[in-house]
Amino acid sequence: MVKYFSTRGGGSAVSASEAVLKGLAEDGGLFFPDHIPALTKSLKELSEMSYQDVAYEVMRLFLSDYTEEELKNCIRNAYDSKFDTEVIAPLAYAGGAYYLELFHGATIAFKDMALSILPHLMITAAKKNHIKNDIVILTATSGDTGKAALAGFADVEGTKIIVFYPKNGVSPIQEKQMVTQRGENTFVVGIHGNFDDAQNGVKKIFGDKEFGKLMEESGYQFSSANSINIGRLVPQVVYYVYAYAQLLKEGKISDKEPVNVVVPTGNFGNILAAYFAKNMGLPIAKLICASNENKVLFDFFRTGIYDRNREFVLTSSPSMDILISSNLERLIYLIAGSDAEKNKELMMQLSMSGKYEITTKMQEKLQDFYGGFADEAETAKMIRSLCDDCGYVIDPHTAVAACVYEKYKAETKDGTKTIIASTASPYKFTRSVMRALGKDEGEADDFVLADRLSELSGVKIPEAVEGIRTAPVLHDTVCEKGEMADAVRRYLGI
Ligand SMILES: *Cc1c(COP(=O)(O)O)cnc(C)c1O
């Protein structure tokens, strides 16, 4: 039975289902398994399995208090026709690398991989732990996560989801995606304020003891769907195992042949999942961590110093515009030798001064990682050259990864076969992509641009874009930033 501890040492061990329900440990640390389990099926056996079966084989090892029936049920409900391909996460070969397409879910970005199963893991966890309350997910979003969470939780019985977004702070397509969200249990509110106001408002409601009491009396309790929940991390381990197994099945690699993995990184969740896969025994050689111009992680891997004190840059890969990569804490804990005290000390420094430095001994344990970054011009050039050479169009996040991989190869001459995590469909960032291809004439709206991209790439416009073109607006609530708690109360009728 795998138990979970806080990376800061506080509190007692909890089961996997309790960790999924709690999200964050009480002392502010992240839950970490007492050991990383080894794969119990051979790579050969895994190569014969469907995505869903691989998901079961991987997830059962981490979520060991879920029964076989419970977990299989969660998997069945998550990885179904919401995805536009039966293989869920296909591989495409282009420009000397295998692109692992993680964008075939409801919102055409990789967060669907985890957010389509998290709601099911949560309600199962609630049942297992005899919680009668409905789970209310409260989220502030700057655009993408909110929609992915809405899509994941929509019509999941026993849950409600409330999303706050800055009314004038998201793109027109992002807003349209959210306000057209179906589902009896969904509630989307625009606020007069920016993303920080939305975030602070949500934190305030979470921390309000009186509000919590009122919720409890009315049969509700809050939970959070953010990326530090192990219920988001564990499902992300699956697709690395699946990708390797598929390459083996297709004879692209031999059994146990090492491969590199390149991940466009923001919060460090996706690449951490690849590191977990490696620690389970998957033959991964290098983990290549790709950053955009917000290159905190690149500097960290180079120097051992994590320093968020710098200018925040807005880029064409907004989901990687992050200065504090919250999931990095799990890696820090691990390379500190599972020393919670040491980790806590560094995290305190981070919150006090925005900076910490790891020891030489810890740095030596980072040999598996390589950090790189790509600036805006390099990213655009990468999109264009891959399209010109292979006819394959990638989004700006994936292009950051592809570009860092090119730099890595030039620097190291490493010829190991490589998987690049492709985290968003080019249709999610149509304007940036068309601009990179030199095809943005400036005036066309995003849907017209999508039509042009389709003509150019020969790839059909995904339902996630096509569907909202004409979809009716179902949410039109707007409130002041000081009125968020009232909006929640009114929606829940409490
Ligand atoms: C969230 C996101 C990332 C970053 O993933 P992390 O797990 O936060 O490192 C990269 N690309 C896209 C498109 C994303 O939505």
Q: Is the CB of 468 under 6 A from ligand 1?
A: no
For 425-441, what is each residue's pLDDT tens digit? 999 999 999 999 999 87
For 283-299, what is each residue's pLDDT tens digit? 999 999 999 999 999 99
Which of 143-152, 279-288, 308-317 reaches the highest mean pLDDT?
279-288
Q: Which of 112, 155, 122, 106 is nearest to 224 (CA)?
A: 122
The pair of three-digit structure tokens given for residue 477, joined into one six-digit string: 């609530």
Ligand 1 atom 15, closest CA: 319
Place 400 in a pLDDT band, splitting at 50, 70 and 90: very high
C-beta neighbour count of 367 within 10 angstroms: 8
Tell me the C-alpha distance between 82 and 71, whole Å: 18
The arithmetic mean of pLDDT across residues 209-214, rounded, is 94
Ligand 1 centroid to 356 CA: how many Å?
24
- End-to-end alpha-carbon separation of the chain, Å? 39
Q: Is the CB of 109 under 6 A from ligand 1?
A: yes
What percent of the chain is predicted at pLDDT more than 90? Answer: 85
Residue 443 reports pLDDT greater than 70: no
CA-267 nearest atom, ligand 1: 8
Ligand 1 atom 4, closest CA: 266
The arithmetic mean of pLDDT across residues 144-153, rounded, is 90
Higher pLDDT, 446 or 118: 118
CA-269 nearest atom, ligand 1: 7
Place 368 in a pLDDT band, splitting at 50, 70 and 90: very high
Residue 145 reports pLDDT greater than 90: no
Ligand 1 atom 1, closest CA: 319
The angle, 0 to 180 degrees and rounded to 10, between the axes of the packed helices 328-335 and 269-279 is 40
Annotated catalytic residue within 3, 22, 111, 342: 111
Q: Is the CB of 143 under 6 A from ligand 1?
A: no
Place 173 in a pLDDT band, splitting at 50, 70 and 90: confident
C-beta neighbour count of 218 within 10 angstroms: 14
Place 215 in a pLDDT band, splitting at 50, 70 and 90: very high
- The pLDDT of residue 445: 84
Give bridge partners of residue 264 from the DSSP assignment. Answer: 290
The pair of three-digit structure tokens given for residue 375, joined into one six-digit string: 């600036």
Q: Is the CB of 110 under 6 A from ligand 1?
A: yes
The pair of three-digit structure tokens given for residue 450, joined into one six-digit string: 């999508």
CA-398 nearest atom, ligand 1: 11
Q: Could you tell me whether strands 369-373 and 284-291 are parallel, antiparallel, or unpaired per DSSP bridges?
A: parallel
Residue 71 reports pLDDT greater than 90: yes
Higher pLDDT, 490 or 442: 490
Ligand 1 centroid to 215 CA: how many Å?
32
Whether 111 is catalytic is yes
Ligand 1 atom 11, closest CA: 423
Pocket of ligand 1, candidates 265, 316, 319, 394: which has the most ligand atoms within 8 Å of its Cβ, to mutate?
Answer: 319
The arithmetic mean of pLDDT across residues 56-85, rounded, is 97
- The pLDDT of residue 241: 98
The pair of three-digit structure tokens given for residue 344, joined into one six-digit string: 């806590």
Tell me the C-alpha distance between 418 and 432, whole Å: 26
Residue 442 reports pLDDT greater than 80: no
Q: Is the CB of 320 under 6 A from ligand 1?
A: yes
Average pLDDT, the chain: 95
Q: Is the CB of 101 under 6 A from ligand 1?
A: no
C-beta neighbour count of 479 within 10 angstroms: 19
The arithmetic mean of pLDDT across residues 213-233, rounded, is 92
The arithmetic mean of pLDDT across residues 391-401, rounded, is 97
For 328-358, what is each residue's pLDDT tens digit? 999 999 999 999 999 999 999 999 999 999 9
DSSP 26: T
DSSP 155: T
Pocket of ligand 1, candidates 320, 326, 420: which has the most ligand atoms within 8 Å of its Cβ, to mutate?
Answer: 320
What percent of the chain is predicted at pLDDT more than 70? Answer: 100
Q: What angle do CA 145, 151, 155 make, to 5 degrees?
A: 140
Higher pLDDT, 38 or 140: 38
CA-148 nearest atom, ligand 1: 15
Q: Is the CB of 424 under 6 A from ligand 1?
A: yes
Tell me the C-alpha distance between 63 and 234, whole Å: 8
Residue 185 reports pLDDT greater than 80: yes
For 262-281, what is each residue's pLDDT tens digit? 999 999 999 999 999 999 99
Ligand 1 centroid to 424 CA: how many Å?
9
Q: Is the CB of 103 under 6 A from ligand 1?
A: no
